[in-house]
Structure 1
Amino acid sequence: MTVGGLRGVLAGAAGAFSSNARNPNLRRAQLSFLGAWTAEWAFTVGLGIVAYRDGGAAAVGLVGLLRMVPSAVLAPLLSPLADRGRRERVLIVVSVLRAVATGSVAVVVGIGGPSTVVYALAVLSTIAATLYRPAHSALLPSLCRSGYELAGANVVRGLLDAAATLVGPLLATLLLRFYDVTVVFAVAAGASLWAAALLVRLKYDAPPRPAAPTNEGLLRSAVEGLGVVSRSRDLALVIGLAAAQSFTRGALTVLTVVVAIQLLGTGEPGVGLLTAAIGAGAVLGSLGASLLVSTKRLGAWFAVGVALWGVPVSLIGLAPQWVLALLLLACVGVGNSLIDLSGFTLLARLAADEVLARVFGALESVVALSIGVGAIIASTMVEWFGIRPALVAVGLVCPVLAVLSWRRLRRMDDSIGVLDHDIDLLHSVHMLSVLPLPAIEQLARGLEPVVVPAGRTVFSQGEIGDRYFVIESGAAEVVGDGQVVATLGPGDGFGEIALLRRTRRTATVLAREELRLAAVRSDRFLPAVLGYTPSAREAGTVVENLLDRFTPRDEHERPPG
């Protein structure tokens, strides 16, 4: 890599963090995620210890499954709520519910109440947590204006996720040394309340989404979301690989407990340290992933991240040593960071905004079920075959599937590269540059290539307008009542007046040299531009400026409409 190339990569990494820091809405959303996931990891450590005290590894696996099955069922059923209204409100409600459930666990454990009540409250908290990530993942694109900014937001969220994976277990370990598990649950409840409070002051203009039919229930909406995933091979592949990674994650909730207490003999605090090692690796991995924010190979890095969730686990089974186990689990954390950057960005780019929360809800459902299945299978394998064979077998799942999926993931990279080219073209038009990423992608997906030879007419004055045009290459003349009133070049758009004012074309546009145009039909153009307040305001200003520019000087001249 040249010095200039290295500087560009470093600048892109810095931009990933600075764009989140400068954007107050992104900043609040990201810090809320940090609070929510710190609570989740601290809660997971505390619950694992309670379950192990009750019944050993089998109890840990069973509790993991019981937590995840209801979440797997309810996540796709509840996720349509985040597609119908403002997504941050869903996040606030979810965080408050988690705080109440986790705080109640602290009370029950503190008074020596029945474990069944603890596990029931854990299921309720997990159901709420399962809805948090889909709503948050669907919210982020609405706070971004480009694929680069979205990738940066996912890098930052991945870093915060990693920090939570590190801080949550370490916090639990520290509290367990000086207090008991009751305090761990109480602190987790406080972190959930903080996550809710951060979102109360979130202010942004949500991009337009079609209203749900009044007679459409949550079940029907959920089925629609699942249908979107089933009809897209790309979405299904990404979610399938996420399921494999989550299976390993679920297995690790059992294996880290068993490895720490039985295989390595480090006791209960060792559970927190092994889990924290994943977080430490994820923090370092997130910093490294920030160097990839401008990459055009999200699919390839996603495959690498999935593979890293398995290979180190197998190696622990082959060489069970304390320091080596910490280092290998740190590599798992690096893989997690790559998945946060690439996997979530891929899904957000592949699915339409109006169903995005439901797609992420389907992901969360699969993830929750896979975690539960991974936990119960890992505990069964430990009982039947022993700890080390279980580690080796579980660790082989992800790398094998990553290798088999490599070609398809690379084809995804190529298709997103084409989409980014079209988005950059649309962003060159000032009126469209204010659109958030979901809206600009909607326009980009509807672009139609048009080639007009030199000397030919794009459209004539007085015609009915049905498309908006952006010049990719070439030059054009705008002729109003026989006079040339403007010349246009690459990056210029025209045709908006007839669409926005619902009038006939106010001028003729001729190709002075061969024109390569990107055209978007009015049924896509109008909802995207007029449905979003900043772009609607900008469009009105553009039209008025064009009319003021030409009409006062010569009433016969017309703008390029």
Structure 2
Amino acid sequence: MSVAPGGVLPSPRIRRALLAYAITGFVEFATWLAILLVAYREGGPAYVGIASVVMLVPAIILIPIAAGLGDRMPRSRALALTHFTTATTSALTGIMLLIQAPFWAMLIVAATLNVVVGVARPMHFAMLPLLAQRPGDVVSANALSSSLDGVALFVGYLVAGVLTDYLGDWTVLLLCAGLMVVSALLVSSLRTGAAHVTDDVPERILEAVAGLVALRRNAGAITLLLITVVMSVVEGANDTLTVTFNDQVLGLTESGAGLLAGAYGIGLAIGGVTIAGLARRRMLAPVVLGGALVMGLAQASVALLDTLGPTVALLIVIGVGVSMIIVSARTLLQRSTDDAVLSRVMGVQEGVELLGLTFGAIVGPFLVGLIGPSRAFLPPGCAGRGLRPDHVCDHPGPRYPHRPEGEGDRPSLSGAVPAAPAAVRARATGPPCHVAGCQQG
């Protein structure tokens, strides 16, 4: 495990959690692309969109519910159980591909796999504060997690493309099943405690719901949520766009599709390292704005290309732009949410992102059919360029006694703290707003 950005070496327990997270990320992306390549062979871009929706819709509904297991038992145990279940469903999907089971039957099992592997992400981020031992541990772990997302995406997509091309799609699923057993063993050895749940948990959950309702009066939170949703829509559309662009414009095989899809992951890895320092700064609104602009410009520019090298370069830039938003958003949510409901809140965030991915999976094939595989990159790029977080301001987040000193009092984006209890929010103070149009108080 490399040194975290800023020179802080994570503790051994966090390193183990991050290694398991990296393996899980590889499995998530490799299995996802393998199934989409199967769908493309079955029915072209339309089937890619259909397969994406079939796998994402159950995840949107079930992940926020299933993630609550992390609040009802020791989080390491809940995560290990999730990993073992992922291994089982991945193996079953691989066997169905090997015996050439009907496509739609295989897709149902693949949808189950996507739900289970998706639960691991919110559980991982809910577990990190319980593993932190020093100030900065959670921020560093978040930044490393973002970098590992990028590496896992690139390696997972590339390996999935190569294995599908030369050995068969079923090998991807069986390899991932074995890797998830390793991941389960890693997290089961962490032995974290249960969440800090007290007798007033129902009251805290009601306060969290009331805070979410209050979002309609908070321009900063609405703007940040809009940016996150648009980012997810672009990501969902890109699954179809890159696979189709690879085949119809570049004329490459499945290995090329894996390289194109994985280039975005290189950008996430680069961005996760370079943006980690910015995540500690007081002014985060410019980071969000910069990420949206970088992603939008690079996305739209892909429409002008017809060669592999420049396309890969622009997809890397898109990943960097996305990471500028991800690191800040995840850190903020951990700071501002009561630990008793943190797994559920992280699950809700995952569900919102999946909703955007689902809409993108519908939009992608529609754009390809309407304006072609190259020009289809233009509308998502224009959407990214049009985002302006004019109502996002910065202030320190609240402190929590169960987290290391300093983890909850760093600068954060306002508007995303509604899930914290009112008594905790009342202790948070902030500097004057530096963004036009933002109202504090």
TM-score range relative to shorter protein: 0.7 to 0.9
SS at match of 1:414: strand
**Structure 1: gaps spanning 5 or more residues:** 1-10, 450-561
Q: CA deviation at 1:445?
A: 4.9
Structure with the bigger RCO (C-alpha within 8 Å, sep 6+) is 2
- The aligned residue for residue 114 of structure 1 is 102
Distance 1:448 1:180 in 2: 55
Distance 1:372 1:438 in 2: 33
Of 351, 361, 377, 2:347 maps to: 361
1:13 matched to 2:5? The reply is yes
- The aligned residue for residue 553 of structure 1 is none
Distance 1:78 1:322 in 2: 40
Distance 1:311 1:231 in 2: 33
Q: 1:100 to 1:223 in 2, by over 3 A?
A: farther
Distance 2:65 2:326 in 1: 24
Q: CA deviation at 1:15?
A: 2.8
Q: Are the counterparts in 2 of residues 263 and 320 from structure 1 also a CA contact under 8 Å?
A: yes
Distance 1:27 1:206 in 2: 20
**Structure 2: gaps spanning 5 or more residues:** 411-419, 430-441
1:140-539 alignment, distance < 5 Å: 140-144=128-132, 148-205=136-193, 208-211=196-199, 227-232=210-215, 233=218, 236-401=222-387, 403=388, 405=389, 407-409=390-392, 411=393, 413-416=394-397, 419=398, 437=407, 445=425, 447=427
Of 25, 36, 39, 2:13 maps to: 25
Q: 1:227 to 1:379 in 2, by over 3 A?
A: farther
Listed one character per residue, the Cα deviations across residues 454-475 of structure 1 (whole Å, up to 9, x for unaligned) are xxxxxxxxxxxxxxxxxxxxxx
Distance 1:270 1:62 in 2: 22
Greater share of strand:
1
TM-align CA RMSD:
3.0
* Letter aligned with residue 230 of structure 1: V
Q: Are the counterparts in 1 of residues 135 and 405 from structure 2 also a CA contact under 8 Å?
A: no
Q: 1:304 to 1:194 in 2, by over 3 A?
A: farther
1:541-552 alignment, distance < 5 Å: none
Distance 1:315 1:448 in 2: 42
Q: 1:263 to 1:84 in 2, by over 3 A?
A: same
Distance 1:227 1:235 in 2: 14
Distance 2:171 2:19 in 1: 23
SS at match of 2:395: helix
Q: CA deviation at 1:334?
A: 1.1
Q: Are the counterparts in 2 of residues 130 and 365 from structure 1 also a CA contact under 8 Å?
A: no
Listed one character per residue, the Cα deviations across residues 504-557 of structure 1 (whole Å, up to 9, x for unaligned) are xxxxxxxxxxxxxxxxxxxxxxxxxxxxxxxxxxxxxxxxxxxxxxxxxxxxxx
- What is the total number of aligned residue pairs between the two structures? 414
Q: CA deviation at 1:330?
A: 0.4
SS at match of 1:387: coil
- The aligned residue for residue 93 of structure 1 is 81
* Letter aligned with residue 81 of structure 2: V
Q: Are the counterparts in 1 of residues 136 and 407 from structure 2 also a CA contact under 8 Å?
A: no
- The aligned residue for residue 105 of structure 1 is 93
* Letter aligned with residue 395 of structure 2: D
Q: CA deviation at 1:177?
A: 4.3
Listed one character per residue, the Cα deviations across residues 482-523 of structure 1 (whole Å, up to 9, x for unaligned) are xxxxxxxxxxxxxxxxxxxxxxxxxxxxxxxxxxxxxxxxxx
Distance 2:310 2:221 in 1: 36
* Letter aligned with residue 176 of structure 2: A
Of 26, 40, 62, 1:52 maps to: 40
1:36 matched to 2:24? The reply is yes
Deviates more, 1:223-232 or 1:32-41: 223-232
Runs of at least 4 residues of structure 1 off by over 6 A?
Answer: 220-224, 432-436, 438-444
* Letter aligned with residue 214 of structure 2: R
Q: CA deviation at 1:82?
A: 2.0
Q: 1:223 to 1:365 in 2, by over 3 A?
A: farther
* Letter aligned with residue 46 of structure 1: A
* Letter aligned with residue 191 of structure 2: K
Which entry has the higher C-alpha Rg, 1 or 2? 1
Q: 1:85 to 1:141 in 2, by over 3 A?
A: same
Q: CA deviation at 1:180?
A: 1.2
Q: Are the counterparts in 1 of residues 128 and 141 from structure 2 also a CA contact under 8 Å?
A: yes
Distance 1:148 1:230 in 2: 31
Percent identity reads 27
- Scaled by the length of structure 2, what TM-score is found? 0.85
SS at match of 1:210: coil
Distance 2:428 2:184 in 1: 43
